[in-house]
A = this chain, B = another copy of it.
Amino acid sequence: MNNKDFIAELAKASNLTAKEASEMSEGIVQILAEQLCNDSDVNIQSFGSFEVKKKNERVVVSPITRQRMLVPPKLTLSFKPNAAIKDKFK
């Protein structure tokens, strides 16, 4: 399901126009992004929690050149589903 279909479903379920539903969706993404940028986890009820995790720097060896390279540390967004949503996929 692409973003357009998702917006259409959301509009239908919430009695909104497609434009309003799209704005809601963008608003939610923006709130999530802001909070996560501020190093705060975000927990959504009966769904799960989003968290920014730091991956440490590490050394990799290229199998071809045998050269050792340092991969810099990076921040990644991770999602952990909670029990309520996990139960639905049993």
Contacts and interface: CB of A to CB of B under 8 A. Distances in A.
A52 B79 CA distance: 13
Contact of A33 (B25, B45, B88): B88
Interface of A: 1-3, 6, 9-10, 13-14, 23-33, 35-37, 40-48, 50, 52, 74-79, 81, 85-86, 88-90
29 contacts: A1-B42, A1-B43, A2-B43, A3-B44, A6-B31, A6-B35, A6-B43, A6-B44, A13-B27, A13-B30, A13-B31, A14-B23, A14-B24, A14-B27, A25-B28, A28-B28, A29-B45, A32-B47, A33-B88, A36-B88, A36-B89, A37-B88, A37-B89, A48-B77, A74-B90, A75-B89, A76-B81, A76-B89, A79-B79
